[in-house]
Chains A and B, each alone.
Chain A
Amino acid sequence: MATGDLCTVERRGRVHLITLPGAGEHRLNPALISAIRSAVAAACASPGAGALVMAAEGKFFCNGYDLAWARGDPSGRIAAVRAARRGLVADLLALPMPTVAAVTGHAAAAGCGLALAHDTVVMRASRGFLYMGEVDAGIKIIDYFGELLRQKVPDAATRRDLVMKGEKMTAAEAVRRGIVDLAVDGGVDDVVAAAVTIAEGLAARGWDGEIVAEIRKAAWPELWSKVKDYGCDAPSRPRL
């Protein structure tokens, strides 16, 4: 399946913009995660790219894991998609450029985690919420995901409301609580434009990408240590 069906990539100035296209829920299964990871890796290979933006079309940024697909082989498939997403988080943490999530619609569960794995998060003000739906759906939150939440949502009360109560948080609330950096009025394109503008500003700082990656890993070492063996640069397992 061509990557273009699952995510598109374009350059806007120095910004490498990845978009999950279409009006669907952009639910994470290995195929989509693989496409996103290819798109993320392409940012490093894109000459002059200075920052990355992750966005989506439609009503959803990402509505979590593809549970319908996972039901085909519950234990095996959930493990597979978790491992793949762990790798995506590792790739984002190790990325040699600043990252910006443009939360254009609902970001639920693993989709919420994907947004929070970026350095900066902007969110559509008028529609969409962050929703850690695991408690409602009866799904565990595993080690690195918990670490991600602890690191990026350090306020205990906010974390409790998100994770233990399954609160649906709008952009304004998320900004007030310090999880999201900016609420953007308007439609999907306005949110993307705002994210690209911020990304362009970060790219313009002209930072050494390797240094950005190393500082990010040093700033979030507990999270990095839980995901680093899954990243694209991790040493591969020996074949017996």
Chain B
Amino acid sequence: MATGDLCTVERRGRVHLITLTGAGEHRLNPALLSAIRSAVAASAGAGALVLAAEGKYFSNGFDQAWARTVPLHLQAAMGDAFCGLVADLLALPMPTVAAVTGHAVAAGCVLALAHDTVVMRGSRGFLYMSEVDAGIRIIDFFADVFREVVPDAVNRRDLLLRGDRMAAAEAVRRGLVDATVDGGVEDVVNAAVAEAEKLAARGWNGEVVAEIRKAAWPNLWSKVKDYGADAPVVTRPRL
């Protein structure tokens, strides 16, 4: 499947803009995760990255419907690929901005919060950890990642244990998101790109940005680094 069916990549000035395409839910299955990771890898040479989406959803989480149709080890591959994407974002040698253009649910919420800066559409869309309402356990690595991106106890309790749906104004008030943007999807993307361009204009050494980010989130990095694109491949010895 061509990456273009799932996400597009464009340059705007120094900004590498990845957009999850179409009006669908942008559910994170292995195909989409792979496409996003390729798009992230293609950012080499840019000064900042923006991840955005079209339609009503930023991302509605893991593809549970797909997961129900495949054996357990393939479901695990979806989780591994998500860890890998988070690792790639953490290790990225440039600032990252999430443009939360619509609903960011479960894994979609975590993906948004794994960026350095998060801007969110003011008029529509919410952050929502749907697991408690859907009766889904939050498994170890996912809980670990969530705790790192939402360190505040009350926010963690409200999102995880109450399944609160947080609109942009509330999310900014609670420190989860950096800014709300009025208008439509395009306005949010433009604001994110403008912010990313400002960060790119600082002219920071990308390797240093990546190392400082990993040092700022060492627990998160330690949990995902073995899944990243640059992780050493462990080959099993042949007997």
Contact = CB atoms under 8 A, between A and B. Distances in A.
**A and B are partners in one complex rather than unrelated chains:** yes
Interface of A: 98, 119-120, 151-154, 178, 181, 202, 205, 207-208, 211-212, 214-216, 218-219, 221
A207 B133 contact: yes
A211 B146 CA distance: 17
Q: Output the residue of B136, B143, B144 with the most chain A CB within 10 A.
A: B143
B161 A151 contact: no
Contacts of A214: 137-138
Contact of A211 (B135, B143, B153): B135
Contacts of A202: 162
A184 B215 CA distance: 42
B165 to A, nearest CB: 12
B151 interface: yes
Q: Chain B interface: which size bin? A: 20 to 34
Contacts, number: 56
A152 B156 CA distance: 10
Contact of B153 (A154, A212, A218): A154
Contacts of B55: none
Contact of A219 (B136, B140, B156, B163): B156
A212 B135 CA distance: 8
Given A202-B162, A211-B137, A151 B153 contact: yes
Contact of B147 (A98, A211, A219): A219
Given A154-B153, A219-B147, A119 B161 contact: yes
B157 interface: yes
Interface in B160-184: 160-163
Contacts of B131: 211, 215
A98 B164 CA distance: 14
Nearest to B139: A218
Given A154-B151, A178-B154, A219 B135 contact: no
B44 interface: no
B132 A218 contact: no
A220 B137 CA distance: 14
Contacts of A181: 154
Contacts of A154: 151-153
Nearest to B147: A219
Nearest to B134: A211
A227 B74 CA distance: 34
Given A98-B161, A208-B135, 4 more contacts: A178-B154, A215-B131, A215-B132, A215-B143
Interface of B: 131-133, 135-140, 143-144, 146-147, 151-154, 156-157, 160-163
A177 to B, nearest CB: 10
B227 to A, nearest CB: 19
A218 B140 CA distance: 7
A219 B137 contact: no
B161 A221 contact: no
Contacts of B135: 207-208, 211
Given A218-B138, A218-B140, A119 B157 contact: yes
Contacts of A216: 161
Contacts of B157: 119-120, 219
A153 to B, nearest CB: 8
A207 B138 contact: no
A221 B143 CA distance: 9
A218 B151 contact: no
Nearest to A153: B153
A221 B142 CA distance: 12
A210 to B, nearest CB: 8
Residue with the greatest number of chain B CB neighbours at <10 A, chosen from A119, A151, A215, A216: A215
A211 B136 CA distance: 7
A207 B136 CA distance: 10
Nearest to B144: A221
Closest 8 CB pairs of A and B: A218-B143, A208-B135, A218-B138, A214-B137, A154-B153, A219-B160, A211-B135, A215-B138
A153 B137 CA distance: 25
5 contacts: A205-B163, A211-B132, A211-B136, A218-B160, A219-B157
A215 B156 contact: no
A215 B137 contact: yes
A219 B151 contact: no
A9 to B, nearest CB: 23
Contacts of A119: 157, 161
A11 B59 CA distance: 41
